[in-house]
Amino acid sequence: SGGQRQRVMIAMALACRPQLLVADEPTTALDVMVQAQVLRLIGGLVAEQGIALLMISHDLGVLAGTCDTLAVMYAGRIVEEGPARAVHEAARHPYGRALSAAFPRIGDPASRRAPQGLPGDPPDPAALPTGCAFHPRCPVAVAACTTEDQVLVAAGEAHRAACLHLSAPEGSTP
């Protein structure tokens, strides 16, 4: 089964006694029960053996439940980073908010029937938009977003995001 293959892969990786485990979409295509088992297995081994874990996934829920820190990337750059639960539940960057909203919420049937999405597609890495690369898809973009590049700024305790609204005067944040 997919779950057994995942466990064998994890065992092979850990047999080399690594200091860092890079898990790229380790639970993709697994049903939720096996996904939970694999995540428990990884979490337990990482804690027991003191291994650092770098997990790569599109599933913010899985990341928030497994990792201490979460970084959101868009167009090849980190646009938000911070404590995993804060980034998942209270994202400050519009892309982070869109990712969170794309997942159905337990106990909210409406979110299952009509998950929210984003217009358009990710940009071509060889021809990134000017300014903030997210501006063609951003629901709160303003004119300056097409010309001003953004860097990570404080967005809460140990939480940073790259959006001009975070450095705009108080009261103007959408």
Contact footprint for ligand SF4 (CB under 6 A): 93-94, 132, 134-135, 138, 140-141, 145, 150, 163-165
Closest CB to ligand SF4 among residues 126, 151 = 151
Closest CB to ligand SF4 among residues 84, 95 = 95
Closest CB to ligand SF4 among residues 2, 123 = 123
Closest CB to ligand SF4 among residues 104, 136 = 136
HSE-up (13 A, CA, CB side) for residue 91: 22
- Shortest distance (Å) from residue 66 CB to ligand SF4: 26
Tell me phi and psi for residue 65, to 5 degrees: -80, -15
- Shortest distance (Å) from residue 78 CB to ligand SF4: 13
Residue 126 carries which side chain, given as an amino acid letter?
A: A
Tell me whether strands 52-56 and 20-24 are parallel, antiparallel or unpaired: parallel
Contact 33, 66 (CB under 8 A): no
Question: Hey, what are 91's tokens?
Answer: 């994202």
- Shortest distance (Å) from residue 150 CB to ligand SF4: 5
Residue 174 carries which side chain, given as an amino acid letter?
A: P
